[in-house]
Amino acid sequence: MKKHNFQPESLMMSYGYRPEWSEGSIKCPIFQTSTFVFNSAEQGKAYFEVAYGLREKEESEPQGLIYSRINNPDMEILEDRLSLWDQAEACAVFESGMSAISTAFLEFLKPGDLLMYSKPLYGGTLHFIEHILPKWGIDILGFRAGMSQIEMIELIKQSGKQDRLAMIYVESPANPTNDLFDLTVCSNVAKQFSKSDKQVMLTVDNTYMGPLWQHPLEFGADLVIYSATKYIGGHSDVIAGAVLGSHERIQRLKVLRTFLGSMISPWTSWLLLRSLETLKIRMEKQADNAQKVAVFLEGHPLVKKVHYLGLLKPTDQAYPIYKKQFNSPGAMISFEVQGGEKEAFQFLNHLDLIKLAVSLGSTESLVQHPATMTHAGMEAQEKELYGITPSLVRVSIGVENAMDLIKDIEQALEAIPNEIRVSSNNSPLSKVA
């Protein structure tokens, strides 16, 4: 079966697996095994040569199964299926999003290199970049949304380290504010500083948009990273990660993964295979619900500002990027309530259906307070700069009934103390005129 004859959602139940491999079982079994038996010593030798990168694989040669830290059928089938959504040449899966991210940094950066990264970033990634990479002699340079190509180039030149730029790392939209970065601009900047012997890589963490709503490889990215814990897993029951890109780069990551031991387990792979079957219908329902919730929030007098791609207007600076890069506004909303932390907490503590927990992309809706939770580690000054205010809450919308979600939000907003409501109703900020 050719891979592009059918759409990915049609292939998620069968691609990369044949029932005759497993007694006719329609589903791929869980290959709960640590090691695999070779047919001959010659075969074992050949498998190791390829797995350890000692020689290139022949065109027709299979990569034989060796040991579950190196490869396993559940892991490989998962990698094949994940590649379809982004039309990537190859994929490597990991035991967490953070191990996917850290393995990519360790493989593609070396002491003396400069890493440029978008801000704000996912907290774990930010910690790895700002506190761990510098210990290995890697210089770092942050940049924020809205910078033009010329401004980015100028920033790199001003750092005095332009010859050492090795990677540009971007999250777009940014978490939790939904700020957008133009990937074409980032790719152009990467090309500008590339030399014949050293290509500057563009790496995009696409977790926020899942594999459906933005395809960074189409806009010049070299690597796409997912926390598969989020939309791909989608049921708040696994931690996992993935990186996609060219055969050559993904092979390098797989070799490092083998030696770090950060591969995914057969059981987690199997759960993700199951999740992938419903990826598209889950994500579409989530986005549909999110649009309805966002419109409700925008019209509510106790809500100061809503950050949601589906509410961008043609006059907004981010609008052209949204139109070019995204297939959907997604299911992540952040918004500020009238007041500060106290009012935000009142709201959070009164939600009933929507659960107060970090993470995102699951079937159930989740809500959290970035300033004191996911982004608690950021300096106060930085939080202010990036709009992570005390009254900001972030919601990941699930597959529940949209009216039930709205009802839950409405009753929790009503729990915000009276003083604020009276003053906001009289304030010019009020949206009910």
Ligand X SMILES: *Cc1c(COP(=O)(O)O)cnc(C)c1O
Which residues belong to the active site? Answer: 69, 122, 205, 230
Q: Where along the sequence are the contacts to ligand X (CB under 6 A)?
A: 96-98, 122, 124-125, 171, 175, 205, 207-208, 227, 229-230, 239, 241
C-beta closer to ligand X: residue 88 or 243: 243
Residue closest to ligand X (Cβ): 97
What span, in angstroms and rounded, lies between the C-alpha atoms of 137 and 41? Answer: 43
DSSP state of 263: B
Minimum distance between the CB of residue 222 and ligand X, rounded to whole angstroms?
Answer: 18
Structure-token match 């205010």, residue found: 389
What span, in angstroms and rounded, lies between the C-alpha atoms of 428 and 433? Answer: 9
3-state class (DSSP) for residue 139: strand
3-state class (DSSP) for residue 120: coil
**Secondary structure of 155-222 as H, E, C letters:** HHHHHCCHHHEEEEEEECCCCCCCCCCCHHHHHHHHHHCCECCECCEEEEECHHHHHHHCCHHHHCCC
Minimum distance between the CB of residue 333 and ligand X, rounded to whole angstroms?
Answer: 15
Query: Alpha carbon 332 to chain centroid distance?
Result: 12
C-beta closer to ligand X: residue 118 or 346: 118
Minimum distance between the CB of residue 371 and ligand X, rounded to whole angstroms?
Answer: 17
C-beta closer to ligand X: residue 193 or 226: 226
Minimum distance between the CB of residue 334 and ligand X, rounded to whole angstroms?
Answer: 13
C-beta closer to ligand X: residue 50 or 133: 133
Minimum distance between the CB of residue 92 and ligand X, rounded to whole angstroms?
Answer: 14
b vs e for 139-170, b when ≥16 Cβ sit within 10 Å of the residue's Cβ? bbbbbebebeeeebbebbeeeebeebbbbbbb
C-beta closer to ligand X: residue 230 or 254: 230
Query: Alpha carbon 17 to chain centroid distance?
Result: 26
